[in-house]
Amino acid sequence: MTLRVAVAGASGYAGGEILRLLLHHPEVRIGSLTAAASAGQPLGNFQPHLPQLAQRTLEATTPEVLKGHDVVFLALPHGASAALSADLDDVPLVIDCGADFRLADAEAWARHYDGEHAGTWPYGLPELPGQRELLRTARRIALPGCFPTVVTLALAPLFRAGLARPAVDVVAVTGTSGAGRTLKPHLLGSEVMGSATAYGTAGTHRHTPELRQNLAALAGGPVEVSFTPVLAPMTRGILAVCGVQVRDHATAEDVRTAYAAHTADEPFVRLLPEGRWPTTAAVLGSNAMHLQTGFDEERRRLTAVGAIDNLTKGTAGNAVQCMNIVHRFPEDTGLTTTGVAP
Ligand SMILES: NC(=O)C1=CN([C@@H]2O[C@H](COP(=O)(O)OP(=O)(O)OC[C@H]3O[C@@H](n4cnc5c(N)ncnc54)[C@H](OP(=O)(O)O)[C@@H]3O)[C@@H](O)[C@H]2O)C=CC1
Ligand SMILES: CC(=O)N[C@@H](CCC(=O)OP(=O)(O)O)C(=O)O
């Protein structure tokens, strides 16, 4: 059966990336494409890289337009999905790129987002233990934030093996597309080009509670998280550098074994050969995450470095991966691990 799929927020960056991937998905027919202020305009005004869809007209984002599809992807600003999805009961599968249903902790939600906490949906990170099985029967999926995707996957093998102390220190370099296409003064070309800057420091970034939530589930108890994003002059990509203390009994061999064991069967997580370090360029446009670790045995300090494309494994590719799991398609249908180089 070919799935009829709608994309809400089709004029945005995440919506555009979902469409780029769906155009090569053999089991999908692209249905309604919606936006807010851009409704009524042709998609080609916003996504010039998708000529096959250039003449399609963006519709208003309403339940009436989205109903009748087999799958609806929501690529909307935070807060917009909660109200909308309440009126999408008849849609068998809704996958949300936003943060509305990611956090279980209502207080953390209130601290970092506006509006009412709407609840939680199954978390769309298939590589977490048991999550693939849970997602197979999900009707609603909350995709992770882009930083939590790469950081959680970079540290998961160590926590799963019980080798990590419960405190992590993460600095993650990101491209500007993570902020969406809405005009923001600090993202003007003349502010970003030739310059890099930290932001959302000292626990204020909204992905900090999501990281705590993910790592606590892996550790089986609370984990301290220090997280600092760094905006860099590139369009796509995240390079996350994650530091953690390794428990005293663990050897370098234990660490290597844990990383090999917990990545070997993952179609999209690639542990690089020893001595090779991830680059954002190598995962551009692909759903792959590249991973490498270095262990300073004397100081018990592990550095895990992960790279993803924020728009692909960081949201749209992960969204398609989750749809494939629910519909029992091979998990990599419509997705690639091949990047673009140089
Ligand atoms: N960019 C990224 O790397 C990542 C994004 N995400 C998440 O994906 C979602 C979309 O992000 P992104 O594509 O970057 O954002 P953009 O700003 O690029 O796009 C937002 C889209 O939502 C539409 N929109 C805006 N307001 C409303 C509204 N009130 N009701 C309905 N539609 C609306 C816009 O339409 P219009 O053109 O009419 O304004 C546009 O199509 C966000 O929740 C974001 O957090 C998650 C991980 C990574
Ligand atoms: C550069 C930049 O601003 N990046 C965004 C990344 C957010 C993201 O992509 O994830 P969400 O789905 O949670 O919005 C940020 O730091 O907030």
3-143+313-326 is a CATH 3.40.50.10420 domain: no
Residue nearest to atom 11 of ligand 2 (CA): 145
CA 321, 323, 324: angle at the middle one, nearest 5? 65
Q: Give every CB contact of residue 329 below 8 A, 6+ residues apart in sequence.
A: 27, 323
State residue 188's pLDDT score: 86
Q: Which ligand is in closest contact with the Cα of 186?
A: 2
State residue 316's pLDDT score: 98
Annotate 177-218 with DSSP letters as a single string: GGG-SS--GGGSHHHHTT--EE-STTTTSTHHHHHHHHHHHH
The alpha carbons of the chain give a radius of gyration, in whole angstroms, of: 19
CB atoms within 10 A of CB 153: 26
Summarised one tens digit per residue, pLDDT across range 42-63 is 999 999 999 999 999 999 999 9
Distance 292 CA to ligand 1 centre (A): 31
Distance 179 CA to ligand 2 centre (A): 5
Q: Measured between alpha carbons, how far is 36 from 201 in angstroms, rounded to an integer?
A: 31
Q: 75 near 12, Cβ under 8 Å?
A: yes
The rounded mean pLDDT for the chain is: 95
Report pTM.
0.96
234 pocket-lining for ligand 2 (C-beta < 6 Å): no
Q: Which ligand is in closest contact with the Cα of 172?
A: 2
Q: Where in the chain is the domain with CATH 3.40.50.720?
A: 3-143+313-326
231 pocket-lining for ligand 2 (C-beta < 6 Å): yes
- Would you state the structure tokens that stand for residue 261, as one six-digit string? 């064991």
State residue 260's pLDDT score: 96
Question: Where does 147-310 sit in CATH, by number?
Answer: 3.30.360.10
Separation of first and last alpha carbons in the chain: 39
Testing ligand 1's pocket by substitution, the residue of 76, 94, 151 carrying the most ligand atoms inside 8 A of its CB is 76
Q: Where in the chain is the domain with CATH 3.30.360.10?
A: 147-310
Q: Measured between alpha carbons, how far is 48 from 51 in angstroms, rounded to an integer?
A: 6
State residue 169's pLDDT score: 98
pLDDT along the chain (342 residues), means of 10: 96 98 97 98 98 98 97 95 93 97 91 88 97 97 98 98 97 94 83 91 92 97 97 96 95 95 96 96 97 95 98 98 98 95 83
Distance 8 CA to ligand 1 centre (A): 9
Q: Are strands 3-8 and 28-35 parallel, antiparallel or unpaired?
A: parallel
Q: Say whether 146 is catalytic.
A: yes
Residues with CB under 6 A from ligand 1: 9-15, 35-38, 61, 75-78, 80, 97-98, 145-146, 177-178, 180-182, 310-311, 314-315
Helix, strand, coil % in the chain, rounded to nearest 5: 30, 25, 45
Summarised one tens digit per residue, pLDDT across range 252-282 is 999 999 999 999 999 999 999 999 999 999 9
Q: Which of 97, 146, 242, 322 is catalytic?
A: 146
Distance 275 CA to ligand 2 centre (A): 30
178 pocket-lining for ligand 2 (C-beta < 6 Å): yes
Distance 9 CA to ligand 1 centre (A): 6
State residue 50's pLDDT score: 98
CA atoms within 13 A on the CB side of 251: 3
- Would you state the structure tokens that stand for residue 80, as one six-digit string? 């917009």
